[in-house]
Every structure is written in structure tokens, then in C-alpha cells.
């Protein structure tokens, strides 16, 4: 097994004791070993500095839920197809299931737990309550995080414009009419 300088560095960082060798199915040659690799991260989550040791395979979503116990952010599909895992990274809405935690050293993360300010709910949160914009609630954190970001994005005035910009957040309960109404009211357009 030939080891490049990069692989050697990673060897030192491995946490698991066992190292097995995997066969690359394509070429049939032996490739890098299969022990987990961990990295130390420093980031800000909901305004607080956080230090984490993460396996490189851990998604931002799993780091938030499993390591930081921030269970507000939900895992729906884990493949970018539902929007339940939406959080803000450096002020922009993204899907936390399709990005690795290790890619967010130094980043500023806001989850639904960090949306309120000094005990005052975000206008989108207020509007969701007022308009009864949920049923089971599973999609709600993702809907709210998306909607909060939408307030600062280019988006036309109509309900259809809002539906299009919110199409990345599915609601299996079909609470869509009230979700759109809540967002329009938070935008001051209803």
C-alpha cells in the first residue's frame, strides 16, 4: 500500500484503532484506509462560539442535532429533497443535510432556536402562530427558516411568487395556504 504525504497526515489524526483496507471496486487497487478521520472545528451557532470534534462524514444537520442537541432542525429526507433541515449559514438559507460539518469552520450558523431575539419571536414565527401555519409541525422549522431568509431575498409580491420561492420546503400535511398567508403577513403584504 503506497501512502502519499496527505494520507500519512490523516493517519495520525485517525481515531479508530482498527484500520481495514478497502478495495476500490473500479480499479481493483488498494486505496486509503477505512478508519474514521476527525477534525476540530470552531464556529458560531446561534451567536455562541462552539468548538466541535467531528468525523469528516458528519453532515452539518447531524452535528447540530446529535452533537449540539439542537433538535429544532429536522431530518426529513436527508437528500436535499424536502427542506426540513433548512438553516442559515452566514445569513443565507441552505440545506444542512447536504453539507458536511467540517466545511463550516469559522461559519456563522443560525437554527430555528436562534431566530428569536431576547425572548421576542421573529416576525415569521409570530405570523406562523397567528395564521396556524402548521399541522404536525415536522416541516415547520424548515419553513420558518426559509421564510425568514426570504424576507431579505428578491421575491415578487404575489402569492405565486412566494410559493415559487418556498417550493424547496415540502409540507406533507398540506398546510401550504396558511404558510403562504403567514409569510405574506410577515412581509407586510397581506
Partner 1 sequence: MHPFSYEKVTNEHEALERARLGKATFVAGGTTLVDLMKLNVEVPTALVDINGLPLNQIEDRSDGSIRIGALVRNGDLAHDSRIQSRYRVLSQAILAGASAQLRNMATTGGNLMQRTRCYYFRDPVYPCNKRQPGAGCAAMDGYNRIHAILGASDTCIATHPSDMAVALVALDASVHIRAANGERVVPIMEFHLLPGDTPDRETVIRPGELITYVTLPSGPFGPRSAYVKLRDRASYEFALASAAVALQLEGTTVRSARVALGGVATKPWRALEAEQVLTGAAANKATFLNAADAALTGAVPRRHNAYKIELAKRAVVRALADALTH
Q: Which residues bind partner 1 (CB under 8 A)?
A: 4-7, 9-10, 22, 24-26, 31-37, 39, 55-57, 59, 78-80, 83, 86, 92-95, 98-100, 102-103, 105, 146, 149-150, 153-154, 163-170
H-type alpha helices, the chain: 5-13, 60-62, 123-130, 140-150, 159-165, 176-186
3-state secondary structure of 15: coil
Q: What span, in angstroms and rounded, lies between the C-alpha atoms of 15 and 2?
A: 21
User: From the CB of 141, what's the least distance to ligand FES, in Å?
Assistant: 10
Question: CA gyration radius for the chain?
Answer: 20
User: From the CB of 32, what's the least distance to ligand FAD, in Å?
Assistant: 17
Q: How far is CA 160 from CA 12, 30, 37, 80, in A?
A: 54, 53, 46, 22
Closer to partner 1 by Cβ: residue 119 or 154: 154
User: From the CB of 65, what's the least distance to ligand FES, in Å?
Assistant: 11
Residues that bind ligand FES (CB under 6 A): 75-78, 80-85, 95, 97, 134-140, 171-173, 175
Q: What span, in angstroms and rounded, lies between the C-alpha atoms of 81 and 59?
A: 15
Q: What span, in angstroms and rounded, lies between the C-alpha atoms of 54 and 40?
A: 6
* The binder of ligand FAD chosen from 19, 81, 90, 167 (CB under 6 A): 81
DSSP conformation class of 58? -
Cβ-Cβ contacts under 8 Å for 3 (sequence gap 6 or more): 11
User: From the CB of 84, what's the least distance to ligand FAD, in Å?
Assistant: 12
Closer to partner 1 by Cβ: residue 102 or 133: 102
Tell me: does residue 92 bind ligand FAD (CB under 6 A): no
* The binder of ligand FAD chosen from 47, 80, 157, 177 (CB under 6 A): 80
CB distance 124 to 151 below 8 Å:
yes
Closer to partner 1 by Cβ: residue 50 or 100: 100
The residue with its CB nearest to ligand FAD is 80
Q: Which residues does residue 87 pair with via DSSP β-bridges, in sequence order? A: 94
Binding residues for ligand FAD (CB under 6 A): 80-81
Amino acid at each position: 500500500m503506497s501512502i502519499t504525504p496527505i494520507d500519512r497526515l490523516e493517519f495520525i489524526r485517525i481515531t479508530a484503532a482498527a484500520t481495514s483496507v478497502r478495495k476500490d471496486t473500479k480499479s481493483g487497487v488498494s486505496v486509503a484506509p477505512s478508519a474514521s478521520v476527525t477534525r476540530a472545528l470552531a464556529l458560531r451557532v446561534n451567536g455562541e462560539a462552539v468548538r466541535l470534534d467531528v468525523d469528516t462524514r458528519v453532515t452539518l444537520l447531524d452535528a447540530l442535532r446529535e452533537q449540539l442537541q439542537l433538535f429544532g432542525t429536522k431530518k426529513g429526507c436527508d437528500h436535499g429533497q424536502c427542506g426540513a433541515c433548512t438553516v442559515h449559514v452566514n445569513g443565507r438559507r441552505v440545506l444542512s443535510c447536504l453539507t458536511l460539518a467540517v466545511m463550516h469552520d469559522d461559519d456563522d450558523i443560525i437554527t430555528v432556536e436562534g431566530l428569536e431575539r431576547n425572548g421576542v419571536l421573529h416576525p415569521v414565527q409570530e405570523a406562523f402562530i397567528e395564521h396556524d401555519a402548521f399541522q404536525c409541525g415536522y416541516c415547520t422549522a424548515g419553513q420558518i427558516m426559509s421564510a425568514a431568509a426570504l424576507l431579505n431575498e428578491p421575491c415578487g409580491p404575489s402569492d405565486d411568487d412566494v410559493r415559487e420561492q418556498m417550493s424547496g420546503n415540502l409540507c406533507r400535511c398540506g398546510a401550504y395556504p396558511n404558510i403562504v398567508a403567514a409569510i405574506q403577513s410577515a412581509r407586510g403584504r397581506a
